[in-house]
Structure 1
């Protein structure tokens, strides 16, 4: 599974620096109205004018490139503000405009970040460690913050990582921009069945690195799933090899306890943000009984979404796949809807009451 170039902006910046091209980062730090790109979106600009990524979908990239090249010469970081008109937005395929602020940082020049800090960031990304790139824009001081560390902003960072939202945070020292760098999203689908044939391409279109697991060669074949990542291993072995974390969704589709149950047990012992299992209410009751016999507690079992997917009246394999992706999206973007979220967060307990 690979990460698209537009999601590898810090890595590309370092590649260009290593090639002697120099590089500057441009990051959307604030938006108002119907801004073309969300906060945290990035563009990297080389000293020779090459670009990768986007901060506006094409509306203001030209002006940002000029500012970035100037920053590489004078070593000054800057925050730029642009109003994107409706006409400009329409020209690049958007319905309406808005206002955006963009932070430009020349790497290894003047007040910009160092390659060493970006290397620390990319190392964390490579190991699927969630981190936040914190910038004090008054002093142009920077640091990386982990959710579980001793930093004063660790609690705020944990919430921003869970919500996947970059933005400014007001502190006693002033405003600090917190750029969220979560690991890429992954989806592991167990069972190369007809629903998986629809779900795998949907998952990729939604931004997931998707892997299909099925030890049955006749099912999990390239002929049935062209271009997909397929592991013909037993599910528990495959999940151990792929690794499970808070940016991973697991979906089981086989109905066969020999295949589904090992994957479910692995997922329940991890911090995956979603676990969905195909099957009727009756099938799930039998699944629950097996898990209870295996020693799983009620709150662990409650993490399973079964029957699978959002209740949209789906009937066909493609509709079931769509309902699963809809439910996965809600659990990802609205963490408070995840099973056990209220119990884990006292503030949500109050809200739920």
Structure 2
């Protein structure tokens, strides 16, 4: 998924309301594709939709097929070619081919599996729906596909018989310190698919005038982090350069499962940070999770360039390209 959506939730609500529902999922692409593998579209028997499988190229045809699938109670595996002209209309340079799996809720996709999926998403749990197209079995799993979970990559296993639909929680970036770097980092993070949250107890820094439309928490960092929670889809970036603000949040992060921890400061500043955390009882392995000084060494010379280096490092750690 490109971003968190409510497509499974909508499909479940439609089914429970007696409207009939089906989930259409992109399972394979060739050439240029408007939507990535795993993208979904919910359709009900009245033709209402939520989501997208092609950005508008083939939605009309998929809706008709899905309504028929809801009526017949059978799965469908559809294949469409997208012309260069249609692709250009949705912003692509050339066309391609996509395959779409249509699963009526209840008859093909068990309601219990869909309910468990919705509950897992609400709890920010990483899960996958495994669909055996040969036997018709559907199963919700919480592990076993480490590379797919890490890369957010749905796809076929065992040839073209078993499709694994990855449902990761939305990526989140918690930024402590409403400094100039944050003014560049927060919108960059949003563009990259993160849901950013800014923590800043100093009112003059954390204002809507400086960060229009952003979520800003004016609590002390340790209190705000405790409220938000830290999990495997969360990156924590500390930019205050003030131990009184950074260290309490750091201590919570080192005891949590967030995939990235970065802290602003020079090599000397980080050495002092390591010393303080060691005295507080944290192990060398725990402290070693901190990226400090924060960001990749790209010779960044201003706040925006530093923000680029931070976001690049965060994505590299997420995808396994950066230690």
TM-score, normalisation: structure 1? 0.86
Please point out which of 260, 264, 274 is paired with 1:288: 274
SS in 2 for 1:79: strand
Alpha-carbon shift at residue 208 of structure 1 (Å): 1.5
CA distance in 1: counterparts of 2:320 and 2:12, whole angstroms: 33
CA offset digits 1:264-321 (Å, max 9, x no partner): 1211221211111111112111111212222222222222122222233322222222
Distance 1:233 1:6, change over 3 A: closer
Please point out which of 81, 94, 115 is paired with 1:119: 115
CA distance in 2: counterparts of 1:97 and 1:262, whole angstroms: 52
Give the 4+ runs in structure 1 shifted more than 4 A: 3-6
Match in the other structure for 1:180: 166
Please point out which of 23, 30, 33 is paired with 1:25: 23
Distance 1:5 1:48, change over 3 A: farther
Alpha-carbon shift at residue 26 of structure 1 (Å): 0.5
- Asked whether 1:139 is paired with 2:135, we answer yes
CA distance in 2: counterparts of 1:129 and 1:28, whole angstroms: 22
Does the 8 A contact of 1:189 with 1:250 survive in 2? yes
Match in the other structure for 1:327: 313
1:97-112 matched pairs, under 5 angstroms: 97-108=95-106, 110=107, 112=108
TM-score, normalisation: structure 2? 0.94
CA distance in 2: counterparts of 1:127 and 1:7, whole angstroms: 14
Match in the other structure for 1:347: none
- Asked whether 1:167 is paired with 2:155, we answer yes
CA distance in 2: counterparts of 1:97 and 1:309, whole angstroms: 38
1:233-248 matched pairs, under 5 angstroms: 233-248=219-234
Please point out which of 54, 57, 60 is paired with 2:55: 57
Match in the other structure for 2:235: 249
> Aligned pair count?
323
Alpha-carbon shift at residue 159 of structure 1 (Å): 2.8
CA distance in 1: counterparts of 2:279 and 2:267, whole angstroms: 18
CA distance in 2: counterparts of 1:5 and 1:260, whole angstroms: 29
CA distance in 2: counterparts of 1:208 and 1:81, whole angstroms: 32
**Over aligned residues, Cα RMSD in angstroms?**
2.0
